[in-house]
A and B are shown apart, each in its own frame.
Chain A
Amino acid sequence: MILTEAQQQEISTFIGSVPKYQETYNELYDHILSSLTAMDEEEYSIDLVARVINEDFGGFQTIVKVETEFNKLAIKNCMRDLRQEMKSLFYFPEAWKTVVVLILCSIIFQYSPGDFKVIRILFVSTFIVGLIPIGYYWGSRLLYKKKGSRPSIKDNGFAQQSLVLAQTAYTPFFIFVGKDSLLPVGTQTCLLIGLFMIFFSSIFVRAYFKLYNRNVKILRSQ
């Protein structure tokens, strides 16, 4: 059967509130329309749409269940993609930027006067850098909401990722550097830890931006 625009709109409204995420909606909508288009002997009705959903998908409840499972997998996937993206920054051509950061860190380590002033600056910088992914994610998401589109299933994964750096940046400070640190270490070791955190933060932020921007680009093209 050939579906009119009004019928397609009716189907879209009918399934509209069930899938929470854009990806699930797209897949469900395309599947139903493909299924109905292939039916030559049947006449269109919203009951027929309901029948397709019940017989093929097992009803709206099953769709929600499948989506919940998909969401869990998407979060896991997102973390795996970020790790891969971080690894890719150690291969050329991206490795050039990584090498530059590494050289800068080595210069600071070599020529630093070796007092806590530099260490404090390094850790404060890490805290600030740790907040960048959070700001970037929420800022970008606000823009999405204005456009009236559904959230992407990857949003939860990106939201969790955006917190990772802020959470990890504090840990070495409290363990090694803070006033009541659990494991106090010497100035040079503190400096080394601070520089490692700066290096790690730069890798994390670059990988996060690359991954997130690529995902946003795909979503905007839909």
Chain B
Amino acid sequence: MAIRNELFKGTLQTIILNLLEENGRMYGYEITQKVKSVTQGELLLKEGALYPALHKLEAEGLLETMVEVVDNRVRKYYLLSEDGKTEVVNKLEEARAFINNLQLLLNLKPQLK
């Protein structure tokens, strides 16, 4: 069952920060494909949502960028800044607390501990 994108809009920044923490540096297309493969196609991160989120995180100083020429074209990589490394811990804790509360509210059996 495909998950509606509205459901993960609020956690998009957390997802991006967590992916960058795990993978070091990533470029836009790579992030969309990673989300697709990890969720086995259940979540499709659209570029129209991804890039504004990346730009916002960059403006907030949580991400740094670097460019590299790959196959004769410029590729922009995103990576966590020092502030981003701290923020990802807070965001993950916040997301876990939210999921726990959501499980209580929806009377779901805890599956992950």
The chain A residues found within 8 Å of chain B, CB to CB, are: 8, 23, 26-27, 29-31, 33-35, 38, 56-58, 62, 66, 69-70, 73-74, 76-77, 80, 218, 221-222
Expressed in whole angstroms, the minimum distance between the Cβ of A28 and any Cβ of chain B is 9
**A-side binding surface: helix, strand, loop or mixed?**
helix
Tell me whether A31 and B29 are in contact in the complex, defined as CB-CB below 8 angstroms, given that A58-B46, A80-B61, A221-B67 are known contacts: yes
Complex interface: stretch among B8-16, B72-80, B101-109: B72-80
Q: Is the CB of A31 within 8 A of B59?
A: no
- Complex Cα–Cα for A222 and B72 (A): 10
A73-B59 contact in complex given A31-B29, A56-B47, A58-B48, C-beta closer than 8 Å: yes
Q: Is the Cβ of A31 less than 8 Å from the Cβ of B47?
A: yes
Cβ-based interface call for B55 (8 A): yes
B contacts, CB < 8 Å to A: 27-30, 32-33, 46-48, 51-52, 55-56, 58-59, 61, 67, 69-76
Q: Which of A8, A70, A76, A221 has the most CB of B within 10 A?
A: A70
Q: How many residue-residue contacts, CB under 8 A, span A and B?
A: 64
Bound CA span A38–B108, Å: 38
How near does chain A come to B72, taking the closest CB pair, in angstroms? 8
Known: A30-B27, A56-B46. A222 touches B74 (CB 8 A): yes
B contact residues around A58 at 8 Å (CB): 46-48
B67 and A33 contacting across the interface, CB-CB below 8 Å? no
Given A26-B67, A30-B76, A57:B55 Cβ within 8 A: no
13 contacts between A and B (CB under 8 A): A27-B76, A29-B74, A30-B73, A30-B74, A34-B27, A34-B29, A58-B46, A70-B52, A73-B58, A74-B59, A77-B59, A80-B61, A222-B69
Interface centre among A8, A34, A70, A73 (most CB of B within 10 A): A34
Assuming the contacts A31-B47, A34-B29, asked whether A70 and B75 have C-beta atoms less than 8 A apart, the reply is no
Given known pairs A27-B28, A31-B28, A35-B29, the reply for A57 and B73 (CB within 8 Å) is no
